[in-house]
Amino acid sequence: MSTKRIAIGAAMVGLAAATPMAVRRGEAPWSSQSASGVAPTSIVGGRPFQSVPSGASAGGAQIKSGNPFSFPLDNGFPTLSDDAIKVVNVLAHGTEPNGPPPTLQEDDLTSFQLIAFNEIFEVAFFTDLLFNVTTDVDGFTIEDLKLRQTVIDALVAIQAQEELHADNANAVLSNNHKDPILPCQYQFPTTNLSTALDLAATFTDVVMGTLQDVQLHLALNNAADGPNVVPIIGSVIGQEGEQTGFFRNFNGKIPSAKPFLTRSSREFAFSALNQNFVVKNSCPNIDTIKLPIFLPLTVNTMPVQPKNQLISFSVVVDKPAPPTGLSLVLINGQNVPIVEEVQNAVVRDGVATFQANFPHDEYVLDGLTIAALTKSAGPFASAEDVAKATIAGPGLIEVN
């Protein structure tokens, strides 16, 4: 897999040239634990799941385990036959849009490549999570049987819905004479249900922010069919928001995080997926996706409390001197990105650690904040503007 990093920026400031894109222990915000490396253990799909100890049923859902996780599922996913789709539709409580397939511009097809890339990962995550919950894997047991069934019912629907999101994105690509995105292998850092659902809320928040960017591109690109796709993307943003409401509520948070959800960009989503979940060199056609993968930006202050404070970050560097001339940008809600100074930078063992102000109270920085280390101080008008100047990121901060 090629690394489409911002080579000029990195050379300029002495950031490391070679950075692993897969999970690095303790370095990325989503990788507090290393993947176990356990081989796939079980496939039980396409029929009612029989061996669930406490009587809960995942009724015909695809259940498969593996860390790293690999496809296909038993029903053929990511390639679904017409018969397989009928089963998934029932589990997903609906079908893919059945209007004529849109003809899109190259740039919007990049968006759909990213959507497929992301949704296939999400299917992997929720399939593995469903396995863990239904088979009572240590850390994923739920004592209260009613709650257990509620969680299983939710995960069965979410997994099937993500299968349809992925299938639909790949169908759009095929209809526009692009190769469908093929699955990678994925590693998951989570070993209990609470952190798994927190993680799901975080990556879903990034997706919801990114789909805003996808809509903006569809609107600006002026293709004949572009505007017709904007509402479909809107329907998926709402759908993903229903999911995060459930994840948040399960962990004792209020379901709706903010009045206006945090904006993201395609570059940040693609980087985060590659930095945190994708097994290096496991993606057959990732090179067809023309988006950059930034250096990972680690948020060392975790969890971030809802108050004004200095937050500590780190990034891999290949020079002994701390990087200079850089800014730390915070994106939250629909506000103009906040530009902060890089403070107290030190380099040790190839890692630059620095601090930046987190002005929680002035902006009420609850929900998702996307942090990026940039080569300029802006001002930036949007998340995508920030992405254009980003060297390392996204650092993902969730407050409340």
Question: Under the rule (CB under 6 A), what is the footprint of ligand NAG?
Answer: 32-33, 36, 67, 125, 128-129, 132, 137, 139, 188, 190-192, 194-196
How is the chain split among helix, strand and coil, in percent rounded to 5?
A: 40, 15, 45
Q: How far is the CB of 66 from ligand NAG (least distance, A)?
A: 9
Q: How far is the CB of 390 from ligand NAG (least distance, A)?
A: 28
CB of 192 to ligand NAG, least distance (A): 4
Size of the chain, expressed as the number of residues it contains: 400
- Which residue, 122 or 340, has its beta carbon nearer to ligand NAG? 122
Cβ distance to ligand NAG smaller for residue 66 or 395: 66
Instruction: Dig out the tokens for 274 from the structure.
Output: 């590659």
Compute how many other C-beta atoms are within 10 angstroms of the C-beta atom of residue 221. 15
Q: Pairing between strand 343-348 and 351-358?
A: antiparallel
> How far is it, in rounded angstroms, from Cα 113 to Cα 119?
10
CB of 275 to ligand NAG, least distance (A): 17
Neighbours of 198 (CB within 10 A): 19
Q: Residue 128 or residue 213: which is nearer to ligand NAG going by CB? A: 128
Least distance to ligand NAG from the beta carbon of 295, Å? Answer: 25
Cβ at position 287, least distance to ligand NAG in Å: 27
Q: 62 or 355, CB closer to ligand NAG?
A: 62
Name the residue among 276, 272, 200 with its Cα closest to residue 240: 200
Got the DSSP string for 127-140? Answer: HHHHHHHHTT-TT-
In the complex with ligand NAG, the residue whose CB is nearer, 188 or 294, is 188
Shortest Å distance, C-beta 123 to ligand NAG: 11
Q: What's the Rg (C-alpha) of the chain?
A: 21
Q: How far is the CB of 195 from ligand NAG (least distance, A)?
A: 4
Q: What are the φ and ψ backbone dihedral angles of 15, each rounded to 5 degrees? A: -75, 155
User: Are the beta carbons of 251 and 94 closer than 8 angstroms?
Assistant: no
Cα 224 to chain centroid distance, Å, stands at 29
Closest to ligand NAG by CB, 160 vs 171, is 160
- Residue for token digits 């249900």? 193
Neighbouring CB atoms inside 10 A of 256's CB total 13
Q: Provide the greatest CA pair distance for the chain.
A: 60
Helix axes 106-134, 145-175, angle to 10 degrees: 160
Nearer Cβ to ligand NAG (11/38): 38
Q: Which is nearer to ligand NAG, 149 or 191 (CB)?
A: 191
**Shortest distance in whole angstroms from residue 38 CB to ligand NAG:** 6
- Report helix, strand or coil for 315: strand
At 88, list the tokens.
């998934």
Q: Which is nearer to ligand NAG, 139 or 284 (CB)?
A: 139
β-strand partners of 81: none
317, 14 Cβ separation under 8 angstroms: yes
